[in-house]
Structure 1
């Protein structure tokens, strides 16, 4: 199977070869498989993440002007866990939809995918819709924490350099740069657990995969043993292409909304 060859054996030599193979196999629409579920997921996930971060930061900070790095880290941990837990089933469905052609499975849409997972992999009260949640929470905590902390630290650094008060006073390119750096740092640190999360999510539809993980730690150790340490970072570069601009723009939009809507 394509996913088997790609993830386990790493036959794609570059991002371009991967895009080319997807286009030949599934056409242009293959680039957007699971994007509907992703859009539906990202809206509440981002909203909850930013809102809960601000709330937790107010709880941990003695006053709104005392925005120290460790407060941002702690608030980011709680915000990441909150948003990931509430929206995880949609994350699982998005992953399944994006690889369904390679697995031979056919989902008719988001609702059908969810119902199929419940019917074939466990009842409503089972953990089927939350497979891979543990590595997600372990990965999202440092990811979101570092994301917010690095962004605010860099923003404060540039504010002191420009001698300005308020994030909106900084030039947009500078804020985009802060967001890009924050996204890159956070993604690099949390990526191995993100890789484990995706592998565990597709386990239910790829029954012939040569890996069976007993848990998060076992998965990390197995990948490192079978594929080397580089295996834990397979696909990191194309993830940069997605995450870095996405995080940059999201901070700009968030701060704009925070200023004009509240």
Structure 2
């Protein structure tokens, strides 16, 4: 039987999503290793999972979607609650659903969404600091939003990926990108068919330079066209980044939060 899970986690305690070796690496916690250990305990047999999108160290997830196969006679409620009781406090399974055998958490997804939040004030945060980046200099969120619109569409994003990125090419379809100010916070939300390694954080790092007035708005378009990572801004901190989740066609029968609108 194949199942899909919606998984929420605080990435601050982990070295990222991906298990670092086939059997894990002692003393190096990852979300995947923790989840597989808990699922295997519930199944009383080894369980491996496939996720919609790997996250880096320190990055959080509101609804990561994974799939796994198991012959163990467990109900979806038993999978979700039993697994959560065996997980550290920073991870929980929000839901579990049986899915068709050809569902794949990674390849069936049509889009992925992230949110990045910046506390923009003179003093660093105390409350909620695990999911906030901090910028003490005033930011022009409207200028950042206008500059970001140059990134929309199918483009080569070499200027915004890390040199360690293993993707065979840098072409991605960026479907939506908005930046708004909410009091002392600046919130970026971004959606694409897929993302490159550090792509969101590198985009944010460059947009911060526009927001601070260090670069003009049209600089973002120039970076995109130039495809040169060395000319772009620094990688923004991981703290403010949350993987909101993937989006799937309605045919898979998943919860509304991870289903494409018709």
Return the TM-score normalized by structure 1.
0.26
**Higher relative contact order structure (alpha carbons within 8 Å, sequence separation ≥ 6):** 2
Specify which structure has the higher proportion of strand.
2
Q: Tell me the TM-score normalised to structure 2 length.
A: 0.26
